[in-house]
Amino acid sequence: MISSFEGINLYTKDTAALAKFYAELLGVPVPFEGFGNYDGAKIGFDRGLPGLIIWDENKWGKHTTGVVNLVFSCSSLDETYEQLKARGLDCQPPATMEYGGKEMNFRDPDGNGITLLEGAYCA
């Protein structure tokens, strides 16, 4: 039976560029780069925890279906916005949502949605 959640698979034509976007621009570590030449890479905060698993669709095919929106937590979204803007990310500033938390939404180079969140969806 199912014992844990491993992560979300993303397929891209340029695995190294997508891994670089998450690692260098957003600051999410790459704890595992497998198979050589970025045929696969795990983006996350620990190799043993769930993460984003990025695959080279030129080699493995494109298996992502539907809309993907990834959500990351931030302790200070205003500070994170300023840091990302300084690194060259083109996005709108954070907005306070009706549930009380702050959100900032943008897309990665492959068009996957990203939400940065300060304050939990549910308390």
The pair of structure tokens assigned to 100 is 């009380």
Average pLDDT over residues 36-61: 82
* pLDDT given for residue 57 in this prediction: 87
Sign of the alpha-carbon dihedral angle for 11, 14, 16, 17: negative
Instruction: List own/partner pairs for 54-58 with CB under 8 A and 24 or more apart.
Output: 54/9, 54/10, 54/11, 54/12, 54/15, 54/18, 54/19, 54/22, 55/9, 55/10, 55/11, 55/12, 55/15, 56/11, 56/12, 56/13, 56/15, 57/11, 57/12, 57/13, 58/13
**Is residue 53 scored above 90 in pLDDT?**
no
**Is residue 113 scored above 60 in pLDDT?**
yes
Contact (CB, 8 A) for 68 and 8: yes
Mean pLDDT of the chain: 85
The pair of structure tokens assigned to 34 is 């497998």
